[in-house]
């Protein structure tokens, strides 16, 4: 997704004479990513497609992700 965002920013800067508002652009791309993950998270529970065997295992992995990536201090 980062490559697509970078390509969009470069293309927009080359086409338009005025600069693109990067905060606005990054907000909408991040919101799009969040919505996609929010709508498609259940695919991880499917036995023939996902990586977990039960909803409880999915919950444990989600909590681990949240603790590790969101709550960990930046060094």
- DSSP secondary structure string for all residues of 40-71: HGGGGG-TTTSS-SSHHHHHHHHHHHIIIIIS
Contact 37, 44 (CB under 8 A): no
Kindly report, residue by residue over 7-57, the tens digit of the pLDDT.
Answer: 777 766 555 666 667 788 888 888 888 888 888 888 888 878 888 888 888
| Res. 68: pLDDT tops 70 | yes
pLDDT for 14: 59
Report in angstroms the alpha-carbon separations of 75 from 17, 69, 72. 40, 13, 9
pTM of the complete model beyond 0.75:
no
pLDDT for 72: 65
pLDDT for 74: 61
């Amino acid at each position: 997704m980062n490559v697509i965002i970078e390509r969009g920013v470069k293309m927009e800067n080359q086409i338009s004479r005025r600069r693109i508002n990067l905060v606005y652009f990054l907000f909408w791309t991040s919101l799009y990513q969040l919505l996609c993950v929010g709508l498609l998270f259940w695919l991880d529970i499917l036995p023939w497609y996902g990586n977990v065997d039960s909803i409880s295992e999915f919950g444990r992995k989600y909590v681990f992700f949240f603790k590790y990536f969101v709550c960990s201090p930046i060094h």
